Structure 1
């Protein structure tokens, strides 16, 4: 390379490489040993991946050493191979890079965001051994990636700076809270790291391009050099394998936005491939910066909790007398989803539930920590909605969060509260949410959860022991029609009905043709289907859903209509698109399932009123 690495970082935007572990996984190499060990047991595979990224246009290649430290390797009994594997990883990366790319030594977090799980002396030793091995082999720089707390990042940085003056890139895996796990704002954390000697600061992993873009827009300094290595959207678990949703074209578009915001190094993390890197390189070839992006100001803090006076008017709890199954037999029936809050303020949620009650929604449904992001208990909110609003609650139950004991206990509590409408879902993997340390339980599949919930209706516990009384659950199953092979998805749906599903709720649909195909493909089924309609809030929301959220696909026409729209204009167009979809849906299905984006419940009220007017419902 004509410039040293530090000068290159200052003079132009460099293209980084993409994922190693998930790409090896995609290539068919099984999980069993750490992928870092492949530099010694399958060096040709690691070399091949590096070469593919260089050929795709990567100008910075990372060594395959993310978890190549003594603490992580001790889990596999190979802690004595730390120095050897790190050195071999540098040699392989250097062989692939030649004179076309810089080689940076990758160091991952030892703690993984788990405060106190590794003693300081043990942590220091693990970082020192790995960093020393990488530097001894002559890397062009160091990349500290997927760190969660500032304390560990600063320790790694100090160890490196005591030994070398190579360029150092410090990347956090951060969620939209805008803080490290030890409580520092990202502005504070980055400022301290620069003072400690970091050349570049940035983000990788935990989130896709949209999430990282929001984090950058929330920063207040415009003088920092950023690096960004996003995941390829959120991962989904399909047929026993992890799959990612964000494609190369989307990464190309987002790369330009990162460049506009001052990124000097752009690559990819989990789920990205050489195709993603080639798209980034192509998008930034001849790049001309757009006008500076002004980050939106933070809104003032909302008032906390609903006053006792307001709560008093909501009345008493009741046990549901008419189910959605009864309602949907008689007329078009509307279920609306409201997201539980991510903090302790329930005022907007309850106001939204009241507004939905006032416009005669048939039930309000609440997800169970969707996308593995922590939210308030939907059981607690369901009880409040039932007691104070007088509206039928329908809650989702994810297989991810509770073992068999917890799931039965949860259902028994629902029965005691008179909450009998539930939806069984698998749940997104915990490792991709805001608490990646959490375990994904999955004692049950969604099929088994449906069957065992209905078993409670027979007065039989999960253990097979008789109960003194029976439950009265009405159990729904989820259906994703946004797939290549609709017939196979319908076969899966038939299995859920065979397991005992009383009704079906679909993922959001954005294509009239697909609604008509669904009507034909499911007309033989014996249970009602509630078609998912989620109005889009703006153009960014449309692109995020299409590219980063598993199970959602937007048509090209819908994306074109939403492109560039923000604020009220975006919401208005989103409602118009939803109304067009509803026009088709009510011709074929009597159940409509409206999902409320970002708690904009007025959009759901508009659509519910529209459905009532179209179907001439008098209530």
Structure 2
């Protein structure tokens, strides 16, 4: 019977292994394949990697199963091989060790630092399927590694504890801020995981030794054994290859410092090689670790203490000097007008249009974010100019397509600095359909995730989990397309955006009066305001283009017949008349009107805005008369 890892780690330091994925990449294996599939297809390759690490001094081997879960393997059509790949990974590691050490089953984060729209129940199922295979094949422990947030790590840990008391090592991927992605400090995170049954807690990936050491210093007095698997420094991208700069000698030096901070398992992550592990083993060959100190209960946080710390973050909040769009639309009819940024460097016409719309009384001017994937001037820059030169409130679209997580947070921080606090979160049309079809579509986030993350900034927490010293104050809108066959299903999707934190809704343009009425009935249970999209048609050709080629827009047969063959002023006049009819119906059921300007014909939007105020005044007069009579 094997000795329980927990007992071993009370008095010994075990040398872990190094990277598998980046090491295989350095050996010529291409990116874009499943390295875990090699357990089945080329087990000798994985066996050789394990043997190299064992020869370098490794005593604790991780199975080659980091991404061997249903979600990750499905990307390669391997979702039906979860059990086979995990079991094979254990057998290969056992063969390599040949009784000379310990095998831990590796299971990595599925979210991987992103807020993927995967339910907690699905995550639990995926982890349970994987760890069950690892446990049944006879591992000495489970290593849950490269987790960015406490929530997901708890789901994985609980899936193990439902079925086994096997030793569990939990590892966070953190940077030098020392917080998880969901905002917990390391002492808080350690306290939570200890309470849920984690035996060893530590750090791997994302950072080199320096940042991990700083994080360890905040928890070294708790008395929980720690594991550390740092990257080989910060990755560099040179001549099309990813390279890591930290030397094996440096890893040997830092290994002793890790041991002094109560690390009981020391290995390496991305960029490390058998040479790095050999340096660690040699540096610790004569090291005599002291017994771990007893668990310091006073250093652990209770759940109530953790919750209260989030509530009492010492962060300043902005004081609003004027009502938000949401405040206004709850009290009266409210008009948002969309004016597209120019596709060239001439902003004279744009600003002239903005000033005319200001005079017409619009409540906000909204600027799309390279709509239809067509390159336009920065809506951040124009939003600021609109705010400063006209006094109109800018409402800025922010698309998931063009920026990764880094760029998105940076963009939003810029909005906050400029006093732009109304945004609309949209997915964004794929780049390949725009004017630069060779451009990449990023899509690091879905529209649901970007809403949640903007609201996280309102809590004063960065996407990384770092406190921002000040809370943002964004009012976040969500887009909604009612031009679908089954409105109920569309509303269910909308409910998820509201659950994510949306404060108001802006719809795609509607060209059917009956649909407006149906939309009111379908959304009457929702508690946030809806702005009905109205886009006046400029011509018959414009009508047919929108109906047949633009996603999310559907014209009624009646409207298409009215616009058929019309061009120029006649087309715009008829398009404006149709828009007025739609606005009349919309105003009976909704306070929010969202007018989209076609082809910079801002005079059309100006006329429709004035029409809204005329109708609104008439409605108010009727209500006043009715009140007097009653």
User: Normalising by structure 2, what TM-score?
Assistant: 0.47
Q: Which of the pair has more CA radius of gyration?
A: 2
